[in-house]
Amino acid sequence: MAPRWTAARGRLAARPRYPQIVLGAALFGLFTTNWNVSVLAVVIPRLATEFAAPKTTVTWVVVAPLLAFAVLGPTAGKLGDLYGRRKVYLTSLAGVVVFAVFSASAQSIGQLIAFRTLAMVFGASTGPAGMAIITALFPRERRVQALGYWGLVLAGGPVLGMVVGGPIVDAIGWRWLFIPQVPLALLGLVAAAFVLPETARATSVRFDVVGSAALAVAVGSLLVAVNRGPEWGWSAPAVVGLFVLSPLAAIVFAVVERRTDHPLIPFAYFRRRNFAVPMLAQFFVNFAYQGGFVLVPLMLGEVFDYSSTRTSAVTVSRPLFYGLAGPLAGWLAVRIGERSMAVGGSALVAVSCVMLANVHGAGAEPLVFAALAIAGMGLGTMVPSMMATTTRAVADSDLGVTAATSQMMMMIGTVLGMQVGQTVQVAREPVSGLLGSYDEAFLLGAFVAVVGVVLAWFVRSSDRSGPAGVPAGGQSIATASISSRKSGEARPDTTTKVDAG
């Protein structure tokens, strides 16, 4: 059986369209992990009733997995870079299957929160590993097209989940959100095991445990403080302590990364414009984009008295157009460049926020629909372009942790955007009125998106077929640094050896 399996895999790898086949298998695996994410927010009242738990506790069914996804992303990406991306991808997808079974059989709200969080821990590993496999397999000039399809599934999966998940919950219960996930993920696991290429282990590089822990504490404490601040109180000792802990842990992370021979994220990359600037741009644009994720449904319900069904029908335009924009972005980026796509996409998000700040009276519904469609189109063109840019600024051996770092920056922007937007709206309501407070919150989002536009403008245009950020000899920064230290030579200044931005 094993020789036949190996021979069949070899024949598949020799096919001209093998990269597209790998892309399809990786995207199907991504779909099996993310299709039921968004619909969980809809069942919070039902879960609160069934488990006799307060809604503030039940919300952790959604919040805790997102925090795990953000905090553990870079660690998961680095594990794939070190121990083999295919191995990490398959292990992670298997973990999703196991905890989908556990989630479907949860007997308490605590169990459900724990199982969903553990499922997302594995899901956080699937994303960077799959993306790194794809970006390494496709030629550099075609990576943005592949990442565009990745964005299509990333946004389209939850949209499909919202469409079919609501009727499933109403008809046969919330546990059936997880039961279909098991056979789908198993099918994805078998397909990935057959299709995905083997990737080499970095046997000479050790995993940076201290740096990973410090980064997890820095990001996790910040996100928990921002998320829980409104409920616990911004001056509560726990919230203040978390805000203090976050920068302290970040300092520890920076010190450790500069001194270790095996950094989680090589700090020299942050001196490269086409690595650092896209990361920051994605943070700011996601801040603006995701701030509206919560504000728009609240505004439609509180100001215009929309029902849940009507609100869903209007707001579905945003993820729908996000998904449609991905493949289009890949096609256009090859012709006009990633920087132009990122600037244009970020500008569309800013325009969307301005449109939402002018939703008044009659004609609200078509204006909101159009504004959200523009926002989805904007982010759907910006993100693949910026992610493709960062992959060309690093060595292929660091693609996993690079993808995960982008994922982390976007998630931090998401959580901060949601919370700051709501905080501004609530704080300004006594002064500006209900509708006026929403206007001001959306204008803040527009301002933040403009910061993203400016940052995207400073991304350096580069030869899409040129080399990635690799020092002479094809080594990554970390490997070159280790080699130079062992030989007693000065550490190479890799930022000047290649035009990687």
pLDDT band at 473 (very low <50, low <70, confident <90, very high): very low
Helix (H, G, I), strand (E, B) or coil at 480: helix
Residue 472 lies in a domain: no
Residue 488: the pLDDT is 42
Residue 486: the pLDDT is 44
Residue 338 lies in a domain: yes
Q: Are residues 194 and 223 in the same domain?
A: no
Q: Are residues 424 and 412 in the same domain?
A: yes
Q: Above 50 in pLDDT, residue 484?
A: no
Block residue for tokens 């690093």: 394
Q: Are residues 56 and 24 in the same domain?
A: yes
Total domains present in the chain: 3
Residue 482 lies in a domain: no
Helix (H, G, I), strand (E, B) or coil at 34: helix
Whole-number Å distance between alpha carbons of 399 and 85: 10
Q: Are residues 406 and 350 in the same domain?
A: yes
Average pLDDT over residues 181-196: 93
Token digits for 167? 């009727």
pLDDT digits (tens, 9 = 90+) for 271-308: 899 999 999 999 999 999 988 877 888 888 888 888 76
Cβ 375 vs Cβ 319: under 8 Å: no
Long-range contacts formed by 301-309: CB under 8 A, 24+ apart: 302/434, 303/434, 303/435, 303/438, 304/364
Q: Are residues 196 and 278 in the same domain?
A: no
Range of the domain at 237: 208-261
User: How many C-beta atoms surround the C-beta of residue 62 within 10 A?
Assistant: 17
Q: Are residues 60 and 161 in the same domain?
A: yes
**Residues contacting 157, CB < 8 A, separation 6+:** 30, 31, 34, 35, 37
* DSSP H or E stretch at residue 359: none
Q: Are residues 358 and 441 in the same domain?
A: yes
**CATH assignment at residue 178:** 1.20.1250.20
pLDDT digits (tens, 9 = 90+) for 402-460: 877 887 888 788 878 887 888 888 889 999 998 999 999 999 999 999 999 999 999 98
Residue 291 lies in a domain: yes
Q: Are residues 187 and 230 in the same domain?
A: no
Q: Are residues 200 and 221 in the same domain?
A: no
Say what the alpha-carbon torsion angle 104, 105, 108, 112 is, to the nearest 10 degrees: -40
Block residue for tokens 């920087």: 339
Q: Above 80 in pLDDT, residue 396?
A: no
Phi and psi (nearest 5°) for 54?
-65, 150
Residue 479 lies in a domain: no
Residue 468: the pLDDT is 42
Residue 176 lies in a domain: yes
Q: Are residues 240 and 125 in the same domain?
A: no
Q: Are residues 251 and 285 in the same domain?
A: no
Residue 62 lies in a domain: yes
Block residue for tokens 């959604």: 62
Helix (H, G, I), strand (E, B) or coil at 323: helix
Q: Are residues 349 and 389 in the same domain?
A: yes
* Mean model confidence pLDDT for the chain: 81
Average pLDDT over residues 190-213: 80
pTM: 0.74
DSSP state of 464: T
Residue 194 lies in a domain: yes
pLDDT digits (tens, 9 = 90+) for 325-379: 877 877 787 778 888 999 999 999 999 999 999 998 777 889 999 999 999 999 9
